[in-house]
Structure formats: structure tokens, C-alpha cells
Amino acid sequence: MDLQSQFEARSASVSTKNTTGSALYAGAFFPRASGFNIHGGVFTSNVTNNVYNLPLEQSFDFRTIRLGDVKLVKEVCLSPQSAVVGRQSRGVGVRRMYHAEIRRDPGTVTVALYQGVGAEEEWRYHVAKYESIRHPNIMQLYGLVSTQGLYAMVFHDELIPYAQFLRRFEHSPVLSTYIIGYCSTEFVEATNYVSKVFRKPPIAYYDKPSVWIRHLTGELCLDFVEGMPRTGTGFKAPFWRAPILRLENVSLDAPDSETIIISSLSETQFHELYSGYPSARFLWFQRGTCARITEPLFLPEEELCWNLHSGEPGELLPNSWVRYDSRRICALKLELPLWFLSDKIQKAWLPQANCIFTELQEVTHVEDYVCVDEVRFMLRIAHKRHIDAEGYLFVCPPRDFRTGNEVQRNLYQWPDCPAYWSLDPSGTTRLRTDEARILGFPTIHIETVVLGRSWDCSVYKGLRRFYKGKGFNPDSREVAKRLGYPLYKVLRDVDSGAPFPAYNGE
């Protein structure tokens, strides 16, 4: 039985119970009554069987809280547009979140209030979910409220949305990075735990769960009830994770909190955290200033191959060219991707970025500098219908894109003739562009797209603070050398024939 079925079964088993009297008293007047007389009249027996809910303490293993003992203090809004935290998926009611106080109980709690059509059914369904698992990083029920038309769940602690908590520390890139790091660690641990308990992949079932933070401790807390908004809490898992443990007895509001965090993190951990949160960007080629790793990038030739995105595959010829029959071409699209994605290469940029910005005297547009991780050479035949002209399209082998020598093998560009039309199946006679157009062959389109990652100014500001705290000069390459990263070199006045740079094509 899967997790969903377990929840459904549990929800159904706790919904209602028949608490009417036994068969011994069926049809009796005033059962168990004695010591009184009835005079005159004609009486008939009209007995109605009523079904009542069991008291909460018999249905669930949670404390029953009187509605009058709950004092709502403030509604929790995940977005400025709406105060409604969750709209029910099984009914038309709504689920709102509040911070509240319980009479005679110290501390602030979080209350989920259910109202509207289907509120009770949804409330019981969700209670069964929370009852099925207990973990420090998952919202834990404290008590329940049940009245006519209004139902609530009371959770331990004052919980605030992750994005709201993180905004409190946006003034400090170091503290923000630390929070992201330990929350990511707790997120993975919690979802892995749930995965083991229910034998379910954590991301498959807990698809971007709502993320909350315990106000007093700063611990991460997940809400896995469906119907909750997944974007309002603002949590975004990194591409890769550097395990960061939450430091005990450290107040993030303390004046020396940054110093404590810096001393607790290594240079490698800090770089891994920052490199995991870049912004993806699409670029095109243009002249400008760029930085290039001085060490050559060796890409094995067997890794270079055309990827067929649309259209039918062609015929590989002995000379490694690919031949396509024009009568079978409709919408052909080929891509030749060159991958430069490497943890070492991307992480090498961060400890050298401020040094490069100082050399370039760059201050205001640091977010426009991109670490390239992929280049795509694209060739396509944009034709909506079959080609009437009889002929053949020949596409060059990927090795023709390599222009570097044995020392600098990381140089690539479009060859002089990446593809051409021919009437000859051997391809000996090439048709000129104007000849192919007159004969009815469509235009061969070529395009180059560069994909890279950039970081905003707060990242570079945080790196500067971190290096100073560690005793390094942020305007030098000493951290990159210490960690054994490849070094970047600034290239100025790049000539038009160079394969770099790409710049801001959003």
C-alpha cells in the first residue's frame, strides 16, 4: 500500500462512529427512566438513530483544545496579494494560517484554520497525514479544535515562511548563505527520512513542499499537505549541496554572528554554496572584455556528436559526413553541444572574480559577467512542408568545428562549409546558395547559443567579506591558488575572430 492509500484509509477510519443505544432499548419510552406516571392520551414510539463523531481524544492521539482557549494574534500571509495560505484540493474551503496563543500555555503556536464547504473532511484528511509521521524538521501537531463549521490544527512553535525569515538577513550575504546552507542540509535529511519511512522517493512525493522556519531556533520545518502554495515560501534547493550543520547556541541577530559563521565555514564550503545558486542566462557572441582560464580544456573527440532534435536521421557516410534525402526532410534540427560544465571550472571563478573586477575597475555591472558552461551550434531546415526538389543535404562531421591545435584544443568555431545542398548523391558537386534557392531547396540556418551562469552583486560582496574574515586579500588570487583551482586571465580587445566572448543575450 502506498503513502497516499495509507492516508486515505486512516482518514476514512477516523471520520464517524455510530454511538446510538443498544438493541435492548430500541423503541422504549424514556429508557432507564423510573418513578413517574403518565395519564391519558395516545402515544407512539418514534425513535431516530443519530450518528455522532467520536470525541477528538478517541479519534486522534492529540490534545483537544477548546475554541475559546485559542487567541489568534496575527494571520500569516505567504504572498502580499492574498492572505489565503492554502485552498483545499478536495473541497472548496480554505485553510488559513495564524500565529496564536493558548490559554495557560506559554509561548506562541501556529494554527491552521479550516472553514467553508468540505472543511471537516479536509481537516480530518490532513490530521491523518500529520499523525502518520513525526520528525524534527516536519510540522508537528500539538492539538486539535473541532466546532460546528470551524476546525483547526495547532502546531508546536511559532512558524514563519522561509522567504520572510531569509529577508531579515538580506543585509548580510554571509548570514544569508549560511542560512541557505543549513536549510538545504535539513531539507535533504527530512525528505530522505520520509522516503525511508514510506519507501517513496522524497522529491516525487514531497514535490517542493512548503518550507517554514521555527522562529526561536531557526530550524527548518516542512509542510507536506497538498494544496499549499509551493512558491510562496521561497525555498530553492541548490544544484549541488555542501553539508552545512546549524550551529547550536548561535544567535543570527548577535553583532558578532558574521564572525562566528565565517570561522565555522571552510573556503570550499562557502564556494560550493555560492556556486550552487547562480542564475542561468542565454547569450550571443559579441566583442568585449572577457576572462579565460589559462589551462586548456581537453574535450575527447568521441564526445562531440550531432543531436537530432527533429526530423528523420540521415545516413552516415565513410568520410563521417551525414547525408539527408531532401524528399524526407521536413523540419530538420541538429545541435552540436560543447559542455564546459565542471564544478572545478565554475568554482574557480568565484575566488578570482573580485580580483578581476578590480583589474577591470568594474563596480556597477558585475552581474553581467557570465561563467560559460555550454556552447550549442545549431543547424536547422525550417520548412513546413515536404521539399519538392530532389537532392541531398550534406552535414559536416563534428570534428570540423575543432580549430585548435594539440596545445589549445578548446578552440571551436563554425567551419567554412558546415552543410550544403547537392543534386549528386555522392556530394561531389556543391550547389551555391543562389542555385539551391532557384531549384527550390530551403535555406540552411545556422545559429550559436552560449549558456552560462551569473551571480548578483550580493554574492561578490559576501565573498569579499568572507575572505577578509579569513585573513585573505579579496583582490588577489591567493584563495584560488590555495585551493588548486585553474587561474583566469583577463583578455582585452578581443579580435573579431576569437571564439569568445558571449555577453547578455536575455
328-358 burial, b if ≥16 CB within 10 A, otherwise e? ebeebebbbbbebeeeebbbbbbbbbbbbbe
Number of DSSP helices (H) and strands (E) in the chain, helices first: 12, 21
The pTM (predicted TM-score) of the whole model is 0.66
DSSP 402: B
Residue 232 pLDDT:
45
pLDDT band for position 195 (50/70/90)? confident
DSSP 327: G
Residue 239 near residue 142 (C-beta atoms within 8 A): no
Contacts of 104 (CB under 8 A, 6+ apart): 69
The rounded distance, in Å, linking the Cα atoms of 160 and 78 is 9
Residue 492 pLDDT:
63
DSSP 92: S
Cα-flanking dihedrals φ and ψ of residue 446, to 5°?
-125, 145
First CA to last CA distance, the chain: 48
The radius of gyration computed from the CA coordinates of the chain, to the nearest angstrom, equals 33
Tens digits of residue pLDDT in 355-391: 999 988 888 888 888 877 778 899 998 766 677 789 9
Residue 300 pLDDT:
52
Residue 295 pLDDT:
56
The residues facing 152 across adjacent strands are: 113, 145
Mean of per-residue pLDDT scores for the chain? 76
Q: Report residue 484 as a C-alpha cell.
A: 588548486
Out of 11-20, 247-256, 305-314, 331-340, least confident range: 11-20
Residue 225 pLDDT:
73
**Cα-based torsion angle of the residue sequence 61, 66, 69, 75 in order, rounded to the nearest 10 degrees:** 80
Burial label, 8 (beta-carbon count in 10 A; 0-12, 13-18, 19+): middle
CA distances in angstroms from 12 to 52, 129, 152, listed in the order given: 15, 12, 18
Tens digits of residue pLDDT in 75-129: 987 654 444 444 444 444 678 999 999 998 889 999 999 988 888 998 998 898 8
Tens digits of residue pLDDT in 423-467: 999 999 999 999 999 998 988 999 888 777 788 888 899 999 999
Q: In the chain, where are the structural domains located? A: 1-20+52-265, 279-403+410-491
- Percent helix, strand and coil across the chain, each to the nearest 5: 30, 25, 45
Calculate mean pLDDT across residues 304-331.
88
pLDDT of 53 strictly over 90: no
Give the residue, 292 or 151, on which the prediction is more confident: 151
Segments of 156-256 assigned E as strands: 159-161, 210-214, 220-223
Question: Given this structure, which CATH class describes domain 1-20+52-265?
Answer: alpha beta
Closest to 414 measured CA to CA, from 499, 296, 340, 333: 499
Residue 324 near residue 420 (C-beta atoms within 8 A): no
Tens digits of residue pLDDT in 272-299: 777 766 555 555 544 445 566 565 555 5
Calculate mean pLDDT across residues 240-251.
78
Calculate mean pLDDT across residues 209-215.
87
Out of 53-67, 174-188, 252-266, least confident range: 53-67
Residue 209 near residue 153 (C-beta atoms within 8 A): no
H/E element holding 145?
A: strand 141-147
Calculate mean pLDDT across residues 384-409.
79
pLDDT band for position 406 (50/70/90)? low
Residue 11 pLDDT:
43
pLDDT band for position 354 (50/70/90)? very high
Residue 215 near residue 251 (C-beta atoms within 8 A): no
Residue 93 pLDDT:
63
pLDDT of 470 strictly over 70: yes
pLDDT of 498 strictly over 60: no
SS3 484: coil
Q: What percent of the chain has pLDDT over 70?
A: 68
Cα-flanking dihedrals φ and ψ of residue 207, to 5°?
-75, 105
Q: ∠ CA 372-375-378 to the nearest 5 degrees?
A: 155
Contacts of 58 (CB under 8 A, 6+ apart): none
Residue 301 pLDDT:
53
pLDDT band for position 230 (50/70/90)? very low
The residues facing 87 across adjacent strands are: 94
**Cα-based torsion angle of the residue sequence 246, 248, 249, 254 in order, rounded to the nearest 10 degrees:** -20
Give the residue, 221 or 90, on which the prediction is more confident: 221
Calculate mean pLDDT across residues 221-233.
61
The rounded distance, in Å, linking the Cα atoms of 202 and 76 is 27
Residue 235 near residue 277 (C-beta atoms within 8 A): no
Q: What percent of the chain has pLDDT over 90?
A: 25
Residue 81 pLDDT:
44
> Hey, what long-range contacts does 47-51 have (CB within 8 A, 24 or more apart)?
49/18, 49/20, 50/20, 51/16, 51/17, 51/18, 51/19, 51/20
The rounded distance, in Å, linking the Cα atoms of 504 and 221 is 38
The rounded distance, in Å, linking the Cα atoms of 146 and 123 is 9
Residue 329 pLDDT:
81
Burial label, 325 (beta-carbon count in 10 A; 0-12, 13-18, 19+): middle
